[in-house]
Protein backbone atom coordinates (compact mmCIF):
# COMPACT_ATOMS: atom_id res chain seq x y z
CA UNK A 1 0.00 0.00 0.00
CA UNK A 2 1.25 3.48 -0.84
CA UNK A 3 0.31 6.54 1.17
CA UNK A 4 0.08 9.50 -1.22
CA UNK A 5 0.50 12.98 0.15
CA UNK A 6 -0.85 16.16 -1.36
CA UNK A 7 2.38 17.17 -3.12
CA UNK A 8 2.12 14.12 -5.36
CA UNK A 9 -1.52 14.68 -6.31
CA UNK A 10 -0.92 18.35 -7.03
CA UNK A 11 2.15 17.54 -9.14
CA UNK A 12 -0.01 15.23 -11.25
CA UNK A 13 -2.97 17.60 -11.52
CA UNK A 14 -0.91 20.65 -12.32
CA UNK A 15 1.44 18.86 -14.74
CA UNK A 16 4.47 20.08 -12.85
CA UNK A 17 8.00 19.38 -14.05
CA UNK A 18 8.26 16.67 -11.38
CA UNK A 19 5.41 14.24 -11.80
CA UNK A 20 4.93 10.76 -10.42
CA UNK A 21 5.29 7.85 -12.81
CA UNK A 22 2.03 6.82 -14.46
CA UNK A 23 2.39 3.38 -12.87
CA UNK A 24 1.82 4.91 -9.41
CA UNK A 25 -1.88 5.40 -10.13
CA UNK A 26 -2.43 1.66 -10.69
CA UNK A 27 -1.09 0.82 -7.20
CA UNK A 28 -3.13 0.38 -4.03
CA UNK A 29 -3.22 3.99 -2.81
CA UNK A 30 -4.35 5.50 0.46
CA UNK A 31 -4.34 8.99 1.97
CA UNK A 32 -5.92 10.91 4.78
CA UNK A 33 -9.25 12.58 4.01
CA UNK A 34 -7.18 15.71 4.56
CA UNK A 35 -5.92 15.23 0.99
CA UNK A 36 -9.20 16.39 -0.53
CA UNK A 37 -9.23 19.57 1.54
CA UNK A 38 -5.63 20.42 0.75
CA UNK A 39 -6.08 19.86 -2.98
CA UNK A 40 -9.29 21.91 -3.04
CA UNK A 41 -7.67 24.76 -1.12
CA UNK A 42 -4.68 24.85 -3.50
CA UNK A 43 -6.87 24.76 -6.60
CA UNK A 44 -8.94 27.65 -5.25
CA UNK A 45 -5.78 29.59 -4.34
CA UNK A 46 -4.47 29.15 -7.90
CA UNK A 47 -7.93 29.94 -9.32
CA UNK A 48 -8.00 26.53 -10.99
CA UNK A 49 -10.98 24.97 -9.22
CA UNK A 50 -13.23 25.30 -12.25
CA UNK A 51 -10.73 24.02 -14.80
CA UNK A 52 -9.16 21.27 -12.62
CA UNK A 53 -11.94 20.38 -10.19
CA UNK A 54 -13.29 17.37 -12.08
CA UNK A 55 -9.82 15.95 -12.71
CA UNK A 56 -9.07 16.36 -8.98
CA UNK A 57 -12.27 14.51 -8.01
CA UNK A 58 -11.45 11.67 -10.42
CA UNK A 59 -7.86 11.36 -9.21
CA UNK A 60 -8.79 11.48 -5.53
CA UNK A 61 -11.55 8.96 -6.28
CA UNK A 62 -8.80 6.41 -7.08
CA UNK A 63 -7.36 6.77 -3.57
CA UNK A 64 -8.80 5.11 -0.46
CA UNK A 65 -9.36 7.85 2.10
CA UNK A 66 -8.64 7.36 5.76
CA UNK A 67 -10.87 9.21 8.21
CA UNK A 68 -9.25 11.52 10.73
CA UNK A 69 -10.28 9.28 13.63
CA UNK A 70 -9.53 10.22 17.28
CA UNK A 71 -6.57 7.77 17.66
CA UNK A 72 -4.95 9.19 14.53
CA UNK A 73 -5.51 12.77 15.70
CA UNK A 74 -4.10 11.89 19.12
CA UNK A 75 -0.90 10.57 17.49
CA UNK A 76 -0.49 13.84 15.60
CA UNK A 77 -0.24 15.61 18.99
CA UNK A 78 2.75 13.53 20.06
CA UNK A 79 6.30 14.57 19.17
CA UNK A 80 7.91 13.44 15.93
CA UNK A 81 11.63 12.65 15.51
CA UNK A 82 12.08 16.07 13.90
CA UNK A 83 9.83 19.15 14.01
CA UNK A 84 7.03 18.93 11.42
CA UNK A 85 4.27 21.22 10.25
CA UNK A 86 0.69 20.53 11.31
CA UNK A 87 -0.51 19.00 8.05
CA UNK A 88 2.62 16.86 7.76
CA UNK A 89 2.01 15.66 11.31
CA UNK A 90 -1.50 14.56 10.32
CA UNK A 91 -0.22 12.72 7.23
CA UNK A 92 2.58 11.02 9.18
CA UNK A 93 0.15 10.09 11.95
CA UNK A 94 -2.07 8.53 9.27
CA UNK A 95 0.81 6.38 8.04
CA UNK A 96 1.63 5.33 11.59
CA UNK A 97 -2.03 4.51 12.24
CA UNK A 98 -2.06 2.19 9.22
CA UNK A 99 1.18 0.55 10.30
CA UNK A 100 -0.21 0.00 13.81
CA UNK A 101 -3.12 -1.80 12.13
CA UNK A 102 -0.66 -4.19 10.49
CA UNK A 103 -0.53 -2.58 7.05
CA UNK A 104 2.71 -2.40 5.08
CA UNK A 105 2.78 1.24 3.96
CA UNK A 106 5.24 3.20 1.84
CA UNK A 107 5.11 6.97 1.44
CA UNK A 108 4.93 8.89 -1.83
CA UNK A 109 5.80 12.55 -1.30
CA UNK A 110 7.74 15.40 -2.86
CA UNK A 111 7.89 17.23 0.47
CA UNK A 112 11.49 17.27 1.67
CA UNK A 113 10.61 17.78 5.35
CA UNK A 114 7.95 15.09 5.16
CA UNK A 115 10.43 12.63 3.66
CA UNK A 116 13.10 13.42 6.27
CA UNK A 117 10.60 12.91 9.09
CA UNK A 118 9.27 9.70 7.52
CA UNK A 119 12.78 8.28 7.14
CA UNK A 120 13.45 9.08 10.81
CA UNK A 121 10.31 7.05 11.60
CA UNK A 122 11.50 4.10 9.45
CA UNK A 123 8.75 4.66 6.90
CA UNK A 124 9.72 3.39 3.44
CA UNK A 125 9.77 6.08 0.75
CA UNK A 126 8.69 5.55 -2.86
CA UNK A 127 11.27 6.80 -5.38
CA UNK A 128 9.07 9.00 -7.55
CA UNK A 129 11.93 9.68 -9.96
CA UNK A 130 12.30 6.02 -10.91
CA UNK A 131 10.78 5.09 -14.29
Q: Which domain holds residue 54?
A: 2-125
pLDDT tens, residue by residue, 43-52: 999 999 999 9
* Domain-embedded: residue 47: yes
Structural domains in the chain (count): 1
Q: Rounded mean pLDDT of the chain?
A: 94
* Domain-embedded: residue 131: no
**Half-sphere exposure for 103 (CA within 13 Å, toward CB):** 18
pLDDT tops 80 at residue 122: yes
Identify the CATH number of the domain in which residue 17 sits.
Answer: 3.40.50.1010
* Domain-embedded: residue 93: yes
* Alpha carbon separation from 33 to 47, 64, 75, 82, 128 (Å, rounded): 22, 9, 16, 24, 22
* Domain-embedded: residue 28: yes
Q: Does the pTM exceed 0.75?
A: yes
pLDDT tens, residue by residue, 62-110: 999 999 999 999 999 999 999 999 999 999 999 999 999 999 999 999 9
Amino acid sequence: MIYVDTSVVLAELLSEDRRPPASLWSESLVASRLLGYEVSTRLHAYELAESHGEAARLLIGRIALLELAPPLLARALDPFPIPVRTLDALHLASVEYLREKGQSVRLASYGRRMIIAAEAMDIAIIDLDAP
